[in-house]
């Protein structure tokens, strides 16, 4: 709890202001709310704390609602309700509690449902063709030009969030209208935040049948794993050198974050390859020619073996980390989907009863850019086309929500008249069939 306790003038009473009260932030961050000159965008780390605290209070308020009201709502199958003897069990002794429902964005049920939506798109459009990741570049001119005197990009997480959302929209428009990869028929994306806080997008792109990637020539046209020529493409070369070089790691830097047991967990540096090769598992071996050229990046010598896969047009257009990989087979589909919808990184061990709300809060980390992103209401996930979920079930097996304080007879009577999306669909067909 982060409540503020006020001592009122004229009496000895104390007044408690909780974190969701309109007066909480002005009372807690008194330096950010003076009478005249606004300092909120000039507060540096205090502004970062302010954003995180504001979003944490918002999220905690929603979780508190679920915690206080979870006992009022239960769920059970309709047929199971009709089989219960009122003399044996009461409504508050049956059904399952909705501890953290799927309506809570970022919760386990929400992540599972959007994973299933993405798999439904995959079943209709076959496997995805492009796996793309995009990370914000804090040195974008749209960010640096808007900084105030003596500020660094880290001081303005609000700018980072706003600019990245605009760039993300522009990227998706480029893919859609300019057909960078061909005719796109569907896509899904999810937004995450790196350990250092920068927003990061994972996207899966599905191409139309004739444009689906099946040959090595198509791969070489769309994806590159080599340094561009610094004389012919100076801007692209600087972007690749700054944003698309892994590490360096291995013997050149044994203390790199990616190193584990003396090996890089990302399998860099990769082996040289004169040509691109397609394999059954859906992961091509990309062309990385040994042209004898090496460059100095972060004080270490690197070559084509250290390059992260990229699309030359997009990297040159957006000047940031945009990793582009081809998904040419079905075996990689489920892994890629689970990678996108894995949720926040954490490791927990639970002894006793599972408390989903506490599980969500334990080891939960919120950085300033994420707090700004969530406060602005930017999307964390989207899919095109939209997936409509039909609750498939046998007759009498639809799920029913009920209040355990009501009588069993009332619950069963009301549940018998309720419709699921499936039975409602059937009723619509009968109505228009007449």
- Blockwise average pLDDT, block size 10, the chain, 434 residues: 76 82 86 84 93 91 81 54 55 57 81 85 87 94 94 94 97 94 92 85 91 89 94 94 92 90 91 86 84 90 94 96 82 64 59 70 85 94 86 75 74 78 83 70
So what's the pLDDT on residue 280? 60
Cis peptide before 311 (omega within 30 of 0): no
Q: Residue 73 has which token pair?
A: 């709502």
So what's the pLDDT on residue 78? 46
Residue 206 pairs in a beta bridge with: 186
Cis peptide before 76 (omega within 30 of 0): no
Backbone phi, psi, residue 96, to 5° = -115, 145
Backbone phi, psi, residue 302, to 5° = -130, 160
So what's the pLDDT on residue 185? 94
So what's the pLDDT on residue 365? 83
0.95 exceeded by pTM? no
Boundaries of every domain in the chain: 108-384
**What sign does the dihedral 425-430-431-434 (CA atoms) show?**
positive
Q: Residue 85 has which token pair?
A: 């003897």
Residues 105 and 112: their CA atoms lie apart, in Å, by 11
CB 201 within 8 A of CB 281: no
Cis peptide before 269 (omega within 30 of 0): yes
So what's the pLDDT on residue 270? 92
Q: 206 vs 116, 119, 241, 334, CA distance in Å?
A: 16, 12, 29, 15
Q: Is 248 left (phi over 0), alpha (psi -120 to 50) or beta?
A: beta
So what's the pLDDT on residue 139? 94
């Amino acid at each position: 709890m982060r409540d503020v306790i006020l001592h009122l003038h004229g009496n000895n009473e104390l007044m408690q202001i909780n974190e969701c009260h309109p007066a909480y932030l002005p009372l807690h961050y008194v330096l950010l709310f003076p009478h005249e000159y606004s300092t909120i965008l000039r507060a540096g780390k205090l502004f970062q704390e302010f954003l995180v605290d504001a979003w944490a209070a918002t999220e905690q308020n929603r979780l508190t609602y679920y915690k206080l009201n979870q006992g009022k709502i239960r769920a059970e199958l309709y047929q199971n309700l009709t089989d219960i003897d009122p003399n044996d069990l009461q409504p508050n002794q049956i059904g399952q509690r909705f501890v953290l429902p799927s309506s809570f964005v970022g919760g386990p049920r929400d992540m599972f449902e959007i994973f299933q939506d993405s798999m439904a798109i995959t079943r209709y459009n076959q496997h995805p063709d492009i796996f793309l990741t995009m990370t914000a570049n804090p040195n974008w001119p749209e960010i640096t030009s808007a900084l105030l005197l003596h500020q660094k990009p880290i001081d303005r997480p609000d700018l980072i969030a706003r600019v990245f959302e605009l760039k993300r929209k522009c990227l998706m428009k480029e893919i859609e209208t300019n057909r960078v990869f061909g005719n796109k028929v569907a896509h899904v994306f999810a937004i995450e935040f790196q350990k250092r806080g920068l927003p990061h997008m994972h996207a899966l792109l599905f191409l139309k049948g004739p444009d689906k990637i099946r040959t090595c020539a198509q791969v070489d046209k769309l994806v590159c794993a080599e340094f561009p020529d610094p004389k012919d493409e100076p801007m692209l070369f600087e972007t690749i050198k700054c944003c698309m070089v892994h590490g360096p790691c291995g013997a050149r830097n044994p203390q790199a974050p990616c190193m584990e047991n003396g090996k890089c967990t990302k399998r860099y540096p990769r082996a040289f390859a004169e040509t691109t090769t397609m394999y059954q598992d859906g992961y091509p071996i990309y062309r990385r020619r040994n042209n004898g050229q090496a460059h100095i990046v972060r004080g270490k010598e690197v070559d084509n073996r250290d390059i992260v896969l990229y699309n030359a047009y997009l990297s040159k257009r957006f000047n940031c980390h945009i990793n582009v990989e081809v998904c040419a087979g079905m075996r990689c589909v489920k892994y890629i989907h689970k990678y996108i919808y894995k949720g926040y990184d954490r490791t927990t061990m639970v002894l006793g009863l599972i408390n989903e709300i506490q599980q969500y809060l334990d080891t939960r980390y919120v950085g300033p850019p994420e707090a700004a992103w969530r406060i602005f209401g930017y999307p964390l996930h989207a899919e095109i086309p939209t997936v409509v979920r039909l609750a498939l079930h046998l007759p009498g097996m639809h799920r029913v929500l009920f209040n355990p304080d009501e009588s069993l007879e009332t619950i069963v009577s009301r549940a018998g008249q309720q419709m699921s999306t499936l039975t409602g669909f059937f009723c619509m067909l009968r109505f228009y069939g007449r």
